[in-house]
Amino acid sequence: MPTSQVDAVLSGLARVRDWQEPFYRDLHRNPELSHQERRTAAEVAEKLRGFGYQVHDGVGGTGVVGVLSNGAGPVVLLRADMDALPVREATGLDYASTVRATDADGNEVPVMHACGHDVHVATLLGAAELLAEGRGHWAGTVVALFQPAEETSDGARAMVDDGLAQLIPKVDVALAQHVLPAPAGHVGVRTGALLSAADSMRVTVHGRGAHGSMPQAAVDPVVLAAMIVVRLQTVVSREVAPGESAVLTVGSIAAGSKSNVIPDHAVLQLNLRTYSEQTRTSMLAAIRRIVIAECQASGSPKEPEFELFDRFPLTENDADATARVSSAFTAFFGERCRQMPQQTASEDFSEIPAALGAPYTYWGIGGIDPVLHREAVECGRVDADIPVNHSATFAPVVQPTLDTGTQALVVAAMPWLAPER
């Protein structure tokens, strides 16, 4: 890919910055929960129409898709997620969110862009405008996709189920990025498994209630739940190969309401992170086996109940697509392009290219002030001093984060849109 073509498309970055930075601050100040991204979606659709894109809105509820055709050539899909989290912001920024909203369960909650999806929206809009203005330097079709409800793991599937494939041309490659607690200005790439698959499971075990003074008349589900928790610690340590990464967490146990009453059931909530379908399947089977066996050992009067929810697919980058993007990033960013370590976070982006039959690659961009990050590294205090995604204090610096994210999307797309001849 000739560097001159990339530079030509990116030549309008300074002008994009004039609207992009205030747009980002406004978006950060006005976050919206999953499936409630109506204001965000309306502003995205308006921007895309102004750039000359054919716009489909209301896809999967609040999703927006912009299509820009520019002659014969590959179709490149660029994706950003739009939703925020039920977190009370504590950044102290002058554009911090004070929004409160009603969640899906009817509870009033604070709302914050604590995961950086506002960065993703602003940078994809910036890239969309640059590509529209730079049509003389590439050929093909750009699909700018703004996805709702990533945080609840069902936004990508909602867009697919709502007929996404029928709204756009056949996609040749899908590209996406995420802002991370790394130095701003840097990008990170990785071939193969990058983000873990995630499964949450709700397990209900049954006992027989009784007075706390008469345990002989009971089957105590609290003790049963405790034994399950202890035994589950052996799944990763004894049933997963040493070279395979996996995490199994029991995040919640609920049972009983009074100190002298043995309850009749307990509910455990588990979270599982894996990097291969084989490990995922075997660990889910191990959980069921252990729970059932402990219930039998305790004399549980009823079979346990299992409910899977909040399931995220594995994000596994295509080797060829990642190699092309990595080469382009190295040429453009130089030493600021790094190898990205595997992340135990999870995403639903891969459901879109899987449904469209397209290869994909997903990369990270830094969002932390480089000086602050370097000082934290030198002091050995990265975990203590650098806020991470979903934290109430997570706030990417505006620049160079927005510039880098915008550049990365354009640079990644151009090997398909303007390949070397």
Write out the binding residues for Mn(2+).
115, 117, 151, 178, 373
Asked whether 288 and 294 are in contact (CB, 8 A), the reply is no
Cα–Cα distance measured from residue 21 to residue 39, given in angstroms and rounded to the nearest whole number: 18
Which residues are annotated binding-site positions? Answer: 115, 117, 151, 178, 373
Q: DSSP characters for 301-352?
A: SS--EEEEEEEE--EEE-HHHHHHHHHHHHHHHGGGEEEPPPBS---STTHH
Which ranges constitute the DSSP H helices of 91-220?
A: 117-133, 155-161, 164-167
Question: Measured on CA atoms in the order 59, 60, 63, 68, is the torsion positive or negative?
Answer: negative
Instruction: Please list, residue by residue across 94-107, b when 16 or more beta carbons sit within 10 angstroms of its beta carbon and e when fewer do.
Output: ebbbebeeeeeeee
Bond into 400 cis (ω within 30): yes
Work out the angle between the directed axes of helices 401-417 and 117-133 (0-180°, nearest 10): 50
Asked whether 76 and 141 are in contact (CB, 8 A), the reply is yes
Q: Which helix (H) or strand (E) holds 136?
A: none
The structure tokens 């602050």 sit at 372
Which ranges constitute the DSSP H helices of 60-217?
A: 117-133, 155-161, 164-167
Cα–Cα distance measured from residue 123 to residue 120, given in angstroms and rounded to the nearest whole number: 5
- Of 195, 189, 162, whose CA–CA distance to 312 is shortest? 195
61: left (phi over 0), alpha (psi -120 to 50) or beta: left
The structure tokens 């809009």 sit at 125
Q: What is the DSSP letter of 112?
A: B
